[in-house]
Copies of this chain bind each other. A is one copy, B any other.
């Protein structure tokens, strides 16, 4: 590496995680007289809001991932390293990583979230999470493969299990997945298999509580239920998953549902690295941070996004969503620069830009301040917002083409089954994607 003494003597900021929060922090520091190292175990930034479309063959995995080195090509004060951070050594201000030890002067932990199975090992092993690019293409391969299998199976019961798709979790991800799977079946696969009758295919959305999209006003939740029903999705309230052996979902009320597919969108928690801080945590493994995003006793360490626990002015926990992470990324960057200048730290104040979820073709819900939209208008708003948020002109263009293609031709562009992907989630454990608790 070409470095000189001048850069080596600069204040060294290490940012762990190239998600929405880490990216914003890094960008915010672009012109500061500091040296930044950005670490991520993936070489790309992932646009998570569109993951469900990768999982349902709507867009290509490469359309929602953008190389971190591309993003930072022109940012001279930043060096990206592909590395897994295994431990934070607070006392020595040092990270242990797969690239060796890395010292920091300031640290921004933007490690994001992972699927939370709440200790249900059977669900972790046999169900599908939807947090990473690999999760999404594994689901895509699995869904498409089930239809290929169903085309060859004539026993009605076996066929029913193959064609029953269960999504757990009535938040935005669950709603979007259930809607997208239903459309994939009704609009695309029925045409792909003209000689086969898939009318017995069922999509179930299970929610343990009594409403969908709990973060949104009740009216929008009701509109969502209506829209999902119209798309052929069965919505079940009070349905809590207890276990899943790969053959049948066991509900807490004793009911079982035979299915080869349980997509778990009912929980998220902070990535495990925060445990090495040995700091007080709130629910979902989130680190209790000061209003300034620092951790108690270590003002040089900022935790942001899904990994941080902070309450808003109504004492409600800030949600684990991209806008919180982005705004915290910017504040963490600003607070580091303030500390360097000896200026006081600023407390975080969340400006909620609104929430949106798409339910499928022509259908979405949006809550934008005083505005509550559902139906076609909300869907158009969703499209515009997400296209503009996608990083990189090329990705925007490619996603737009894929969407336009799907919309006008009732097709799904990316209906490929990867040749050597795991056909059963059981193999996920062998591949180290799941660790036993």
Q: Are B196 and A2 in contact (CB under 8 A)?
A: yes
Give chain A's interface residue range (CB within 8 Å of chain B): 35 or more
Q: Are B195 and A79 in contact (CB under 8 A)?
A: yes
Cβ-defined partner of A62 (8 Å) among B42, B414, B431: B414
Cβ-defined partner of A192 (8 Å) among B60, B70, B99: B70
Q: Are A416 and B62 in contact (CB under 8 A)?
A: yes
Q: Are B394 and A401 in contact (CB under 8 A)?
A: yes
Q: Is the CB of A223 closer than 8 A to any CB of chain B?
A: no
Q: Are A419 and B73 in contact (CB under 8 A)?
A: no
Q: Is the CB of A156 closer than 8 A to any CB of chain B?
A: no
Q: Is the CB of A132 closer than 8 A to any CB of chain B?
A: yes
Report whether over half of chain A's contact residues are helix, strand or loop; otherwise say mixed: loop
Cβ-defined partner of A42 (8 Å) among B70, B81, B417, B432: B417
Q: Are B43 and A417 in contact (CB under 8 A)?
A: yes
Q: Is the CB of A242 closer than 8 A to any CB of chain B?
A: no
CB neighbours (8 Å) of A398 from chain B are: 398, 401
CB neighbours (8 Å) of A194 from chain B are: 73, 76
Q: Which of A144-152, A208-216, A277-285, A311-319 contacts B (4 or more CB under 8 A)?
A: A144-152
The answer to whether residues A134 and B197 also contact, given A148-B82, A191-B73 and a CB cut-off of 8 A, is no
Interface string of A41-61 (1 = CB under 8 A from B): 111100000000000000011
Binding site for B on A (CB under 8 A): 1-3, 41-44, 60-63, 65, 67, 69-70, 73, 76, 79, 81-83, 99-100, 132-134, 144-145, 148, 151-152, 191-197, 394, 397-398, 401-402, 405, 411, 413-420, 431-433
